[in-house]
Structures are given as C-alpha cells and as structure tokens.
Structure 1
C-alpha cells in the first residue's frame, strides 16, 4: 500500500505572491479547508508544505503555502503532485477503496480464469470503470458495479469478477 495518497496536482501559478492553482484529484474538494500540510513530490525529494490559505476558483483550489511568497519560488513545481500521509486520508465507506490501493490487483473470473492486472480506474459519470491489462497486452474494461465486481480482496491482492455478456 502507498504511504502517501495524492490529493491534487499543481497546474499553474496564481498571481505573483506564490499562490498556485491546484487541480484536485480527491473526491472531496472541501477537504482542502481542513488540511494543514501537504507533501510536494518533486520527483527527487518530498517536501512538506504548510498551507496558509485556501480559496476555490472554478474546478481549481488556490493554495498559498507558508514561506513561499513569490511566483519564482513555486513556478518550478508546475505539474507536481501534492500528497497527504495515509493517516490524513478521508475515511472510506464500506466497499470503497483508494485507487492507488486497487492498482495491481489480479482480476480473476468467478469461473477461475485469470484475466490480468488492474492498471487504471476511469471515473465516469455513472460508475467507475476498472481497466484490466491482459497478458496479451490488451485492455479489458469492467464496470465497477456489483453485478460485475463480486469481491475485492485487498489482503490477497485479488479482484473476483463476473464477465457480463459482451464484455470480452
């Protein structure tokens, strides 16, 4: 399991006083109001940043970090993810999982056939769609609905699925 979970990505600067526009990658955008710190993953290091201010603008969150007061101090981090420690993650309801934890699960049909590994989760309006990478380098798209996803075994790292007609 991942130690850190992504909550957003810095998309651009906002003004000249060190604020950034963040594209949220969390289902609960209001959680930014309660966050005190985030971890900036620069690719080379992880840097803890204290949040000084939070505003919302269209689909973005505008963040101001303590000690970063000029556009030049933050501009180099465009495109970099913002993370939180797992302990700071939102509480999940029953049968809800973090996408980072689902990636890599082995998909097995209710008939015992190994389909491949879950490589991505697509978020659609109606329901999520699990992308299964097959051994022959193709992708199988499975709707994340109870009729198709029968069981998620996080400890065993397996996904029990029922292939509905037309899914192959």
Structure 2
C-alpha cells in the first residue's frame, strides 16, 4: 500500500537570525519542494505546518515555517524530518516516488522467477541504476532502461524485468 505521507526532507540548520531554516530535500530537488505551502511534522499528517516563504539556495531549500521566528528555535529543529502529502503531488504518468519503489519484489518478466528486492536507486548521468538484493544477501546492479525494466507496479509491490545476460548469472 502506498503511504499517504512521504518524507520530503530534513532540517539541517538555520540561515540568518530570523528563523529561516535550511532544508535538505529528499525529493527530486529543492525547487520541487519549494512548491509546497503545507508540510507535515509526522508521517501520518496529524501535525501540519505552513510554509510562509521559501527559496532555493544551492541544493537546499531555505524556508520560513509558521511558528519559527528565531535562529534558536530553528536550531532546536535540526534533524527533524518534514513530510509532504501524496495527494498534493501530480506526478507524470509512469513516474513514482523512490519511497514507493524501494522494497519492490523483482521478478523475471517471462518466468516469474524472483531475483530479490529493490533496495536502492542510484542516480547516474544517463539513467538510474537499481540495486537488487537477492535472498542470499548478494547485491546486483540493474540499469533502469526500457529493454530491461518492463513493468513497475508499486501498488502491487512488484517490478518485472528481463535482465541482460551476465547480471544475475556469470558469463562464460
């Protein structure tokens, strides 16, 4: 089941003396995170906070949050995780949050053989690379390209692939 609230980023410090927070985005970018006017202090959405203003600074988001008016208050929040509500995001078709992908069971598209779980997504220049951890604990790297990854279904908890020779078996 897809979670209704997702980790958006972590407060890493303050900027200036008026309580502006430095937030490390855990989503695509600080620019993406700057679009939200409401964030949440918990993973169930019970405690929301209004974003009064925000701006991108290098790879961080600088933001004034409701109720934070001094650097001392901001420093006390260092390390806290902020969440966003999934319903507030419109993703393009065929796009998922990394948090939805991690943990998917990886199956062979043709035979149904289970290769393991998707345990990490590495960002590279050309395409993402998926780290698959097999049941025996061994890890494999799989390019996220259309010829290899044929189906992603986070709702069902599976990803179906047709691996390139040599990824899961030793080439002769």
Normalising by structure 2, what TM-score?
A: 0.85
- Tell me, yes or no, if the aligned pair for 1:32 and 1:54 is still in contact at 8 Å: no
Distance 1:153 1:57 in 2: 35
Distance 1:151 1:158 in 2: 8
Q: CA deviation at 1:75?
A: 1.3
How many matched pairs? 165
Q: Is the alpha carbon distance of 1:55 and 1:155 closer, same or farther for their aligned partners in structure 2, counting shifts above 3 Å?
A: closer
Alignment match, 2:95: 96
Distance 1:10 1:46 in 2: 19
Distance 2:132 2:33 in 1: 32
Alignment match, 1:164: 164
Q: CA deviation at 1:154?
A: 3.0
Distance 2:127 2:60 in 1: 23
Q: CA deviation at 1:24?
A: 1.8
Q: CA deviation at 1:135?
A: 0.6
Distance 2:153 2:52 in 1: 40
Alignment match, 1:2: 3
Distance 1:148 1:20 in 2: 41
1:23 aligns with 2:24: yes
Q: How does 1:8-157 map to 2 (within 5 A)?
A: 8-41=9-42, 47-89=47-89, 91-110=90-109, 111-157=111-157
Q: CA deviation at 1:39?
A: 1.0
- Tell me, yes or no, if the aligned pair for 1:6 and 1:83 is still in contact at 8 Å: yes
Distance 2:140 2:77 in 1: 35
- Tell me, yes or no, if the aligned pair for 2:27 and 2:33 is still in contact at 8 Å: no
Distance 2:46 2:14 in 1: 20
Q: CA deviation at 1:38?
A: 0.7
Q: Which runs of 5+ in 1 are unaligned?
A: none
